[in-house]
Structure 1
Amino acid sequence: MRADAQRNRDRIVEVAREVFREQGYEASLDLIAKRAEVGAGTLYRHFPTRDDLIDAIMQVWVDRVTESTDKVLAYEGSDRDLLLRWFETYVELISLHKGGPAKITTAMGNPESPIRSKCQVLSGAAGRVMDALGERGALRPGVDAVQVCRLVGGVASVADSSGLDDDAVRPLLEVVADGMLARS
């Protein structure tokens, strides 16, 4: 890709991230092109569909999910503390945009969702954590990564819509964690 074309692409992604943060994922693509100071044709040449643009924005986020999950899995504390660290990380990851937790949580496990790739990244990361804890015998039988994402996402949705701070969310996550852990 030519340098000027790459600059245009990068600028479109940067502006789209800002616009989507302000207005949600259904924001006008024409507005994004205008703010990026490119023509609509340039935007569509780089991103033929809205989903293509969302996927480009999400790549940086995907890398962050992977890095955050690796960091949680490297934790050497108790199983409960590891699980709570993952929950707090998950809540942070899906709460980057107002309304994000509800949008992601309702789409979780839906193969028809326009954000299915984001949900798959999240459930895959949760699966890695659940697998690690399962190998250690720390989880109750039948704990499923998508179900965990939905449950913790529900807590994040309540926090997002109610304006709860981390101190109010932590006890809710502790209840979820305690319900998932195998009894000794």
Structure 2
Amino acid sequence: MRDEAARPGQRADAHRNRERILEAAAEVVGEDGTQASLRDVARKAGVGLGTLYRHFPTRDALLETLLRTGFDQLTDEAGRLLDADLPRDRALADWLSAFTERAGTFQGLPASLMATLGDPESALHASCLAMREAGGRLLRAAQETGRIRPDVDGTDLFALANALSWIADQAPSIAARRDRLLALLMDGLAHPDAGRA
């Protein structure tokens, strides 16, 4: 009976450990890239390496969860921006800024993890699709105001945003220009007649 009584507390501890590992991993991967030391992740989370491996048996499992969490947060952010009292092109720019900042963290993902993005059965694929659809809704809302060119589609948007993320990941001097490059991207997306009186 004592074991049964302990289970809710054990589950709560396990959940807290998992959340601490994910928070630490986001920081360590953000600083050191996708090949960051899992020992450093465990140390930063304040757990043993065995605890990390119980939750995430492989590096790919940990990275996949981090990516899925990031996709879900970007989906939520798109919804918040759609509901916000902002000009639609500004909402799109704010979302693209968040997207490029997050995407830069995960450059150089292992090929096995990238393959799951194309697998319709994977949870990562579903989260990525939901995030892309949410970004597409922001794009269409901005286009409806006449501020964004009507010939841009979601594929164009994600190709450009991913390219910007990749470029900013290549060198600190380029990363420091990310906001400027994003502004240039938004200039390119702007409807040619948007500024005319």
Q: Shorter-chain TM-score category?
A: 0.5 to 0.7
Contact 1:126 1:145 in 2 (8 A): yes
Is 1:94 aligned to 2:100, yes or no?
yes
1:26-37 equivalences in 2 (<5 Å)? 26-37=35-46
Residues 1:172 and 2:185 aligned together: yes
Q: Which has the larger radius of gyration?
A: 2
RMSD: 3.7
Amino acid at match of 1:92: A
Match of 2:118 among 111, 124, 144: 111
1:24 paired to 2:33: yes
Q: Take 2:168 and 2:182, find their aligned partners in 1: how far apart are those partners?
A: 7
User: Which is further off, 4-13 or 19-28?
Assistant: 4-13
The answer to whether the Cα contact below 8 Å between 1:9 and 1:46 also exists between their aligned partners in 2 is yes
TM-score, normalised by the number of residues in structure 2: 0.63
CA distance in 1, matches of 2:136, 2:11: 39
Task: Return the offset for 1:53.
Answer: 1.9
Q: Deviations over 1:37-77 (max 9, x none)?
A: 43332212111232332344345534431332123323567
Percent sequence identity over aligned pairs: 30
1:2 lines up with 2:15 in the alignment: no
Q: Is the 8 A contact 1:66 1:125 kept in 2?
A: yes
Query: Aligned pairs, how many?
Result: 170
TM-score by length of 1: 0.67
In the alignment, is the contact (CA less than 8 A) between 1:84 and 1:173 conserved in 2?
Answer: no
**Structure 1, unpaired ranges of 5+:** none
Task: Tell me whether 1:127 sits opposite 2:136 in the alignment.
Answer: yes
Q: CA deviation at 1:102?
A: 5.7
- The CA deviation string for residues 143-184 of structure 1, in whole angstroms up to 9 with x for no partner, is 4313211113334544564221635642431222337x9xxx
* Partner SS, residue 25 of structure 1: coil
